[in-house]
Amino acid sequence: MKNYVILISGRGSNMEAIIDAQVPGRCAAVISNRPAAAGLAWAAARGVPTAVVDHKASASREAFDAALAAEIDRHAPDLVVLAGFMRVLGESFVRRYEGRLINIHPSLLPAFPGLHTHAAALAAGVRIHGATVHFVTPALDSGPIIIQAAVPVLPGDSPDTLAARVLAQEHVIYPRAVDWFLQGRLRLDQGRVVLTDEPMGAGALIVPAG
């Protein structure tokens, strides 16, 4: 059976969605860079091993990346899942896990990379927003796209109401992507996403306005 590790920094609702989805693999560990991350307690209560690699204990980004990689490698995971993980990772870290490192970003990439995406979407006046699961590459939020979910922006939305609408769809698409990978149906091939045995459009979830 394949195994995976999940990296979090906070609440961990995407982590919960993946573990609750009973994807065909074992969650070998949940690792946080923040000791106070709420998701750690949830994982521990489920019997999932947890670890903290505090970025504040490292003198540099390179040292943090090395400490994080050492913790990950103890579990020899087939897949590393960033789920609300808030530290930018360096090139050598990303290369080490190339093709087995995925992230969920709360926008329809390539729109609104980086932080504060929901406020940026409202400021831009877009009518459609969403979330993207992608393979991680050294360039931030720029890796090959696996699946996206689109939601409407509604009149009166605040960053918080929009974030909640997007988050509900994150919880649908992220377990789906992890499931595909662990089934051996999703891979990165020369920088391209290859998904086998799915009908056309499997990577697109569109949630219409009510």
Q: How far apart are CA 204 and CA 206, in angstroms?
A: 6
Residue 10 binds which one of ligand NHR, ligand GAR, none, with CB within 5 to 8 A depending on kind?
A: ligand GAR
Q: Collect all residues with Cβ–Cβ distance below 8 Å to 11 and sequence separation of at least 6.
A: 37, 38, 39, 84
By the 10 Å C-beta count (0-12 exposed, 13-18 middle, 19+ buried), 172 is classed as middle
Instruction: Name which of ligand NHR, ligand GAR, none residue 84 binds, using a CB cut-off of 5 to 8 Å depending on partner kind.
Output: ligand GAR
Q: How far is the CB of 199 from ligand GAR (least distance, A)?
A: 26
- Exactly one of 143, 152, 175, 203 binds ligand NHR (CB under 6 A); that residue is 143
What residues between 86 and 105 interact with ligand NHR by CB under 6 A? 86-89, 94, 103, 105
Segment interacting with ligand NHR, rule: CB under 6 A, options 70-78, 136-144, 174-182, 192-200 = 136-144
- Give every CB contact of residue 199 below 8 A, 6+ residues apart in sequence: none
Active-site entry in 105, 118, 134, 171: 105
Residues near 55 by beta carbon (within 8 Å), at least 6 away in sequence: 33, 64, 87
- 83 is a site residue for ligand GAR (CB under 6 A): yes
Structure tokens at 139: 């360039």
116 is catalytic: no
Q: Are strands 50-52 and 26-32 parallel, antiparallel or unpaired?
A: parallel
Interaction pattern, residues 134-173, with ligand GAR; x per rule: CB under 6 A: ---------------------------------x--x---
Instruction: For residue 187, give the nearest of 113, 106, 98, 105 by alpha carbon.
Output: 98
The residues of the shown chain that bind ligand GAR, judged by CB under 6 A, are 8, 10-14, 83-84, 86, 104-106, 167, 170
